[in-house]
Amino acid sequence: MAISSATVQLSATGQVVVTNTDTDETEDLAYSGAKTLEQVRVVNPNDAGVYLQLWNLDDVSNVTVGTTEPHMVLPCPAETTQTYVIPAGIVFGTGIIMACTTNLAAPTYSPGAPASAVTVDLLLG
C-alpha cells in the first residue's frame, strides 16, 4: 500500500505533528532525527485491537516486524480512538519507525496485519 503521511512544523513551539493514515504491519519511517514523543493518537477502525509499535531507528531496513524488538508498544482496542499523553516525553534519539499489528506476543509482537489501515498521529517536541 502507498503511505499517506504529512509532517507539519508548528513554528511557534518547535513541535512537529506527523500523521500516517496507512499504518499497518509494514514498517514506515515516521521521522528521521532526534525528537521527543509527547503525544500519540491511534485511530483503529478494525473489529480487532491493534498494537502500535515504535522503534528508535531511522532506517526501515533495520526493522523486521515480528523479529526486531520495538522501543515501545501502545495498544488500541477495536473500533476506538486511543490518545496517549506523555507529559515528560520519551526521547527517540535516532528517529521513529512505526507499524501496527494485531498480535501481542512479546518481545517481538508478531506481524498480524490489521484488516484496514490505522491512522496514527505523533506529536513530537
The model's pLDDT over 1-22, given as tens digits with 9 standing for 90+, comes to: 344 555 676 667 778 899 999 9
Q: Name the nearest CA neighbour of 79 among 24, 42, 121.
A: 42
| Burial of residue 101 (number of CB atoms within 10 Å: 0-12, 13-18, 19+) | buried
Nearest to 53 by CA among 96, 99, 112: 99
Confidence of residue 81 (pLDDT cuts 50, 70, 90): very high
Per the structure block, which three cell numbers stand in for 8? Answer: 507539519
What local confidence, expressed as pLDDT, does residue 5 receive?
52
Closest to 87 measured CA to CA, from 111, 120, 123: 123
DSSP assigned state of 11: T
Question: Terminus-to-terminus CA distance in the chain, angstroms?
Answer: 29
Question: Omega into 77 within 30° of 0, i.e. cis?
Answer: no
Domains and CATH numbers, the chain: 5-124 (2.60.120)
Cα angle: 46, vertex 17, 57; to 5 degrees: 80
> What does the block give as the cell for 30?
515516521
pTM of the model as a whole:
0.88
Residue matched to cell numbers 484496514 = 116
Summarised one tens digit per residue, pLDDT across range 31-70 is 999 999 999 999 999 999 999 999 999 999 999 988 899 9
